[in-house]
Amino acid sequence: MSIRLRLTLLYSGILVCTLVIFSVVLYVLVARFSLQWQERALAEEAAQIVTQGEFRLTVIRTPQGKVAIPQTFVQTRDLSGQVISRSINLNGYELPLSSQGLTALTNGPATGWLEIVRTDNGRLLVYSRTVTANGQPVGILQVARPLADLDQALAMLRRYLTVGTVVSTITAFFVGWVLAGASLRPINRITQIAREIGQARDFSRRVDYDGPNDEIGALVTTLNEMLTELQAAYQQVEHALQAQRRFVADASHELRTPLTTLRGNVELLQREPPLPLEEQRAILADVAAEIERMIRLVRELLTLARADAGLRPRLEPVQLGSLVEDAVRQAQLLRPRPVARVRVERDVVVRADRDLLYQVLLILLDNALKYTPEDGMVEATVVVEQGRAGIAVRDTGIGIDPAIMPHIFERFFRGDSARSGEGTGLGLAIAKSLLEAMRGEIRVVSRPGEGSIFTVLLPVEPASAEGEARAAPSLVSPA
């Protein structure tokens, strides 16, 4: 069942209940007030008959112009209930008086008694009262009037109320159907547009609405906001899929090269007759180097996969001074030349994952040592700026060409021939992913032939944030 039909039935049902209750109340009130008017009229007629000077229990004379003859019937009884006299229009018919009425009039305090009786010609309203003489009851006077006119008027009222209720309900149903359709038309249009957007996957499209800022306006606003979020999410997924495809292609290419080399070397070792011992040793050394390269590549790919899967670093206070000293010492062991030095003018505590930050520093120091001549210089400095702190790694190496600067953090990007060779092109991408997981940032400033400065910044631990204004400034350009 559609909302339009449910709303129409609801409107119609409410209207039917309202009209039925109104009709019943109106009918009951009209019937009651009409009957009360008839009762008062009979009581007044009875009083007029009793107070006339010629009234006798044995002879009924009605005052001219005061009693509605022939619509009013008059009858007298004695105190025992026997009929004494009746008006001519009764034609021998006896007005009834119940035993309860007789007892109430003769023995009780009541001076008047009303009864409604049913006859062959319809209902009859009978009013009975005592007649007194010298303060003592001597008989009973009964005045009656037929209720045919009242019953006919009430029956007509019932027909009018019934017909009015039916006609009003039918009219309300069709009017409610039209109004519900008009009210739901914008929603139907929104549904159609949403269906078209879903089928075409065109999340850049929006729902146009020029109506008031009511519930439908709020719905359109919410739907457009949702489409904006969906568009951003869809674009993000598209970019992620493209990056994943590019990553898989690059990883396949990087792994294919050492595997091809290994297969060629194994084929050389399987040749008959065997190669000289010196050549075999050289081939085995090449095999070991390629295996080490593959191990390093797989380890870096796993690190990137963890970062892409939503790496959750264990953030804790990390003292930069001791960390940078340990990292420089470890990097120097791997590459003794050129010499790297540490400059800590102010030790600062940041909130980071110590192991991940240590890995980032090793990547930056290894790159700096790799691309700096043996007579050059590499320096790691603790820096503080605007509520954040970190480490700047400065070298006097070959620098980075401005044309490739925007791509240095891309995966498997190794730049020009001067920077190609033993690397996998994943180091800076790993460093950037790990820093983003720790809510940090990495920046680079470089000049070809003069050197580069890679600056890592992280949130400062609140307990150590005092005195940042006196901290050492960060390096902004190569010396």
DSSP labels, 328-390: HHHHHHH--SS-EEEE-SS--EEEE-HHHHHHHHHHHHHHHHHTS-TTS-EEEEEEEETTEEE
pLDDT number for residue 463: 62
Q: Are 395 and 371 in contact, with CB atoms under 8 Å apart?
A: yes
Cα(377)–Cα(398) distance, integer angstroms = 12
**Mean pLDDT of each 10-residue bin along the chain, 479 residues long:** 81 89 93 89 83 69 56 85 84 85 79 84 87 82 87 90 90 87 78 79 74 77 82 78 72 74 85 85 86 78 69 86 90 85 86 90 90 90 88 92 87 58 72 89 91 93 55 39
Cα(126)–Cα(96) distance, integer angstroms = 8
pLDDT number for residue 50: 79
pLDDT number for residue 446: 92
- pLDDT tens per residue across span 365-399: 988 998 899 889 999 999 988 888 999 999 999 99
Q: Is the bond preceding residue 459 a cis peptide, omega within 30 degrees? A: no
pLDDT number for residue 56: 73
Cα(314)–Cα(48) distance, integer angstroms = 108
Kindly report the pTM of this predicted structure: 0.48
